[in-house]
Amino acid sequence: MMENVQGPVLRPGDNGYDGERSGFQTSHRHHPDLVVVAADAADVRAAVAHAAAHDLPVAVQAAGHGLTVAAEEGVLITTGRLDEVTIDPDRRTARIGAGVRWRQVIEAAAPYGLAPVSGSFPDLGAVPYTLGGGLGLMSRTYGYAADHVTRIEAVLADGAPVVLTPGDELFAAMLGTRGAFGVVTALEFALVPVEQLYGGGLLFPASEELIEAYLAWTTTLPDTLTSSLALIPTPDRRLAAVRVAFAGEAAEGERLVAPLRQAGEVLDDSLRVMPYTESGSIAQEPSDPHGYAGGGVFLADLPAAAIADSPHVVQVRHLGGALAKPAANMMGHRDAAYLLQIVAAGAWEVPEGLRPLGRFLNFQYGPATADEVRSAFDPADFERLVRLKATHDPAHCFRFTTAIPSI
């Protein structure tokens, strides 16, 4: 059994089992019957074929920030050793293994004056991030990470390896559904010609007026400026951090940000010209593993009062620009104006007074209901996904993720 696998195969009680099933998220962990520490794509194929032969469900983990449904049985494939990155500077593409983190792609692309459309946190797994869409630092300029994918290498529920390109139905189905259709072993995607950013943050005391000023400011911006507002409760007061990434001349960035500086008392100002390799400093996210719950909703409009007193960390992402352009993937709600993310230590709810258009699944920490999953997609896309699920994964082998029904 599993005799072709090169990487270790671990069972509960084995040395290394606990370490391998652990991730950045500490609230929940997978607890499978078997962990396959994949060393290459052949190991992934062998693991899925084994699961198919024995009717076992399959979970996948890269860097472990995005756990939704913890596996209590079956096979967990860990992909951290699939860590090769190849940059093709002529085609301006990167090909990466399933376990590569954004930091590795950013560093490999930079010598060619190129950058990936990566997110705020460079330790995230680039493949899982992209399979959930990937809403990044420069997303108003360049769209979702999923919009840039040119080739997917994956293993389907029956253990068959496939290579998918734009135009294949399964290619689109893989992008936005977080692994509901197969285990991706490698991705190829386009890079963008960005060497540096004018970016960083402005920190203010939080208030309803400040939120209103931020929202009004976003309506004045070109697509080259992407920003977010985080409301952060601290023991003595609530803080508001505006994060900015502008892929253009610094003087123009300064000019665009100037009105925002008048929005309140600036407690800290880290705006500067930076090489893209330092873009992880913009959001200053916590880098130690911890427990969290939360989710994200797309909105057409956002009344400031609805979030002004939230007890949780709340983040508003300004959408529009290139995010509104359709692409060969399942990302819904492209006409939304904002995305609201809530990150909580435990139970949380979408604040009252909002009219969510639907969910953004990459920010789903913990299981989503069937209605919440459906709400993430355009209705016609969702019908397509249900049909494809019935054809390609009728036994719901990939059930520890976005729950696409098969009937």
Ligand X SMILES: Cc1cc2nc3c(=O)[nH]c(=O)nc-3n(C[C@H](O)[C@H](O)[C@H](O)COP(=O)(O)OP(=O)(O)OC[C@H]3O[C@@H](n4cnc5c(N)ncnc54)[C@H](O)[C@@H]3O)c2cc1C
Asked if 319 is part of the footprint of ligand X (rule: CB under 6 A), the reply reads no
Candidates 4-12, 134-142, 162-170, 272-280 — which segment interacts with ligand X by CB under 6 A?
A: 134-142
- Cβ neighbours of 91 (radius 10 Å): 12
245's enclosing H/E stretch is: strand 238-246
Would you count residue 294 as binding ligand X (CB under 6 A)? no
Contact flag: residue 46 with ligand X (CB under 6 A)? no
Residue 65 touching ligand X (CB under 6 A): yes
CB of 69 to ligand X, least distance (A): 8
Distances (CA, A) of 348 to 264, 311, 313, 352: 29, 9, 11, 12
Tokens describing residue 393: 């994964």
The tokens describing 58, both together, are: 């399959």
Q: Which is nearer to ligand X, 62 or 149 (CB)?
A: 62
| Burial (Cβ within 10 Å: 0-12, 13-18, ≥19) of residue 270 | middle
| Rounded CA separation 51/37 (Å) | 14
Contact mark string toward ligand X, 349..378, x via CB under 6 A: -------------xx---------------
CB of 262 to ligand X, least distance (A): 27
Could you tell me which residues come within 8 angstroms of residue 38 by beta carbon, excluding any fewer than 6 positions away?
Answer: 5, 7, 44, 47, 77, 78, 79, 81, 82, 98
In sequence order, the 6+-apart residues with CB closer than 8 A to the CB of 100 are 82, 83, 84, 85, 125, 126, 127
Residue closer to ligand X by CB (options 128, 143) is: 128
**Of these, 50, 61, 204, 366, which contacts ligand X (CB under 6 A)?**
61
Closest approach of ligand X to the CB of residue 377, in Å: 16
Q: In this chain, which of 67, 175, 247, 306 binds ligand X, going by CB under 6 A?
A: 67
CB of 163 to ligand X, least distance (A): 14
CA atoms of 317 and 243, how far apart (whole Å): 9
State yes or no: residue 178 binds ligand X (CB under 6 A).
yes
Binding site for ligand X (CB under 6 A): 23-24, 60-68, 79, 98, 119-121, 124-125, 127-129, 131-136, 178-179, 183-184, 285, 362-363, 401
